[in-house]
Chain A
Amino acid sequence: MKFITIDKKDWAKGIDKSRKTYQLFGPVKDKNGCKIKALDADVVPDMDYHESVMSAKSVLFPQTETILTTSLNEAVDDHHIMKRAENTYTPRAVLGIRPYDAKAILLVKMNFDTDDYRDPYWCDAYEATTLVGLGITKPGPFDFSTSVDCGPFCEEGLDILLADLDDKFLAKVLTPKGEAYAVACGFETTADDKESQALFDILRKEAEKNISASIETDKLSEKVLLDLHEAPFWDDVAFSCINCGTCTYVCPTCWCFDIQDEAKQKESSRFRNWDTCMSPLFTRHATGHNPRGVKVQRVRQRFMHKLKYFLDKYDQGIMCVGCGRCVKSCPVNIDIRKVAHTMNTFEKKD
């Protein structure tokens, strides 16, 4: 681990240098707000952004991704025999990713990289990716990351953490991947370890002080899963929900997906798309039977998955990094913090 100082005047030049070997992603503002997306050759990431509407999960888990292809033309050799789609996994770097989005990638990894199966699309992308984080000096009002073992300067999942010091970035290089990226940029002005760490600590404490929102989860693990599932409050929680699915799409930890086939002329492809547990189709059997056919069942599924199933299954905290996007984006003001409080304080009546 080491510290590097990057003068902001050298920033654009440095990352330009890295474009020879890295595909770059970063925050870009457009008319719909700020998004983390692939940067065209002449685009510099907007490192002054506050928050992005969507998380950075799409860098590893695109909204739609071809996974297999084959020809349906019987005159072709190997027709109807599926092959892995030719996606490229050359090195890529995400610049300015927020610490909560990087931590979310570690949570999503638990789903895609298991002892039994390895999702090659997600994992290959993950291995190719370097995450250059940007500490949050001015947390937004929806940020409750400090109460879920994350925070504005959390290093988990990151390869480099940058602190914005007005005219320069102070970079804490955390992994060999991060070191390789710094070399690719030609960033090599080392800074004093002790002083730099002290500076990071001050910035972190200042930023953490500005976070007033929090989520209450301390008693969730001791609750009985079925008691929470059968609790009487779900109708109230779900009452205003319109099942739009926005919360699932903006969430950096939501990983559910659908698999679909498509054929054009004689070429077929199988691809996966983001899916949402808010949709009745998500669980509907071919017979028409639907185990989560009613809205309240779907709303309950989302919160139970994030705040109880995940917790019980992995014992690694809840499936939430406190970015607050779902709270901010929900058109009917459903708030995961309120739901967590309701669950956390629930006592079953005998």
Chain B
Amino acid sequence: MENPYMPYPVRIDDIQIATEDKSLKTFTFVFLNEGDEEKFAYHAGQFAELSIPGVGEIPIGIASSPVEKGFVKFTVFRTGVVTSHLHNMKIGDIMGIRGPLGNWYPWDKLENKNVVIIGGGFAFTTLRSSIVYMLDPANRPKFKNIDVVYGARSPGMLLYREELFEWEKRDDINMHITVDGTDDPDWKYHTGFVPQVVEQNAPKADDDTYAIICGPPIMIKFTQPSLTQLGYKPHQIIMSLENRMKCGIGMCGRCNIGKELVCKDGPVFTLDEINQTPKEY
């Protein structure tokens, strides 16, 4: 068994400012060693530790999709010591990635099902990974209807805008893009908070429909009643949690919610599972 603390060495291949306030950047990494990309084989919904020698590590959801080859991509919000350092790094710099870590959205269970994806703010990274995965020609037939509700404060704060507007034009995915507010008179999508857009646009639940939610706690809190009203049962609501982490492999002890470790038993849980654990997230 390999040393689970050892990151794969990577080079920063590209850096893109992701939002108009520049608080988020998308980093594209390529692996330095041949064979490491295969070892890093991941599923949409997993995360990794971005590892900067001498600075530290941060757990970040993988934004690229398993169907995209040759690189991995992460969108990072500048907030602490490591993320601030990362935001100041340059293309060509060497660092590490440790993972993939945690579980993933239950793709086996979601086959032949309708999938509703609900995201808010910058918690759209693993959802982007998931959408790209599901829309891949090899995978799209495995799923029935796909609906996406994605909201941000303003149009400039939406992540992956170009892709969103591309998906919007397709007929095999129903996009419901929304912003809290905008002064753009040409804005042609929704205006309003995610819970109300969900209530008005998401499909009603049946046994074959599952919802995946990822977003700030306040959005999740207010979206749950909307989903319940649409008939979703706790086992049909799939969520991805975040907690402070260090090891990412279930050993250092801090990210637990009851006996479950968010880093290893999660980060993906159904609402049904979460309802049986202390709300320590």
Contact = CB atoms under 8 A, between A and B. Distances in A.
A225 interface: yes
17 contacts: A68-B53, A70-B54, A72-B53, A82-B9, A82-B96, A116-B264, A117-B4, A119-B251, A120-B3, A226-B258, A229-B278, A257-B251, A270-B5, A277-B254, A286-B58, A289-B217, A309-B258
Given A258-B252, A275-B254, A80 B247 contact: no
A310 to B, nearest CB: 8
B125 to A, nearest CB: 16
A290 to B, nearest CB: 8
Contacts of A118: 1, 4
Interface string A66-91: 01101010000001111010000000
B55 interface: yes
Contact of B249 (A82, A116, A283, A301): A116
Interface stretch (B140-148, B201-209, B238-246): B238-246
Interface string A276-320: 010000111111010110000100010011001110110000000
A256 B9 contact: no
B253 interface: yes
A333 interface: no
Nearest to A69: B53
A142 interface: no
A263 interface: yes
A300 B58 CA distance: 27
B7 A313 contact: no
Given A283-B244, A291-B280, A225 B250 contact: no
A309 B9 CA distance: 36
B246 A259 contact: yes
Q: Which bucket holds chain B's interface residue count?
A: 35 or more
A112 B4 contact: no
A292 B256 CA distance: 11
A80 B249 contact: no
Contacts of B243: 283, 285, 291
A117 B94 CA distance: 26
Residue with the greatest number of chain A CB neighbours at <10 A, chosen from B249, B254, B256 = B254
B6 A261 contact: no
B55 to A, nearest CB: 5
Contacts of A292: 280
A342 interface: no
A346 interface: no
A11 interface: no
Secondary structure at chain A's binding surface: helix, strand, loop or mixed? Answer: mixed
Contact of A261 (B3, B54, B244, B264): B54
Contact of A275 (B55, B56, B253): B253
B200 interface: no
Contact of B54 (A112, A268, A275, A287): A268
A187 interface: no
Contact of B259 (A117, A259, A272, A312): A312
B83 A82 contact: no
Nearest to B78: A286
Interface of B: 1, 3-7, 9, 32, 51-58, 79-80, 83, 93-96, 217, 242-244, 246-247, 249-259, 264, 276-281
B30 to A, nearest CB: 14
A161 B167 CA distance: 69
A117 B251 contact: yes
Given A82-B53, A275-B252, A309-B258, 5 more contacts: A67-B5, A229-B278, A258-B246, A282-B244, A301-B256
Nearest to B4: A117
B1 to A, nearest CB: 5
Contacts of A225: 258-259, 276-278
Contacts of A286: 58, 79-80, 83, 244
A257 B94 contact: no
B265 to A, nearest CB: 10
Contacts of B94: 79-81
A32 interface: no
B252 A259 contact: yes
A262 B53 CA distance: 8
Interface in A232-264: 255-263
Given A81-B9, A81-B32, A226-B276, A287 B79 contact: yes
Contacts of B281: 291
A252 to B, nearest CB: 15
A19 to B, nearest CB: 30
A263 B54 contact: yes
Contacts of B51: 82
A117 B249 contact: yes
A233 to B, nearest CB: 15
B79 A117 contact: no
A264 to B, nearest CB: 9
Contacts of B251: 111-112, 117, 119, 255, 257
Contact of A268 (B53, B249, B259, B277): B53
Contact of B278 (A82, A116, A226): A226
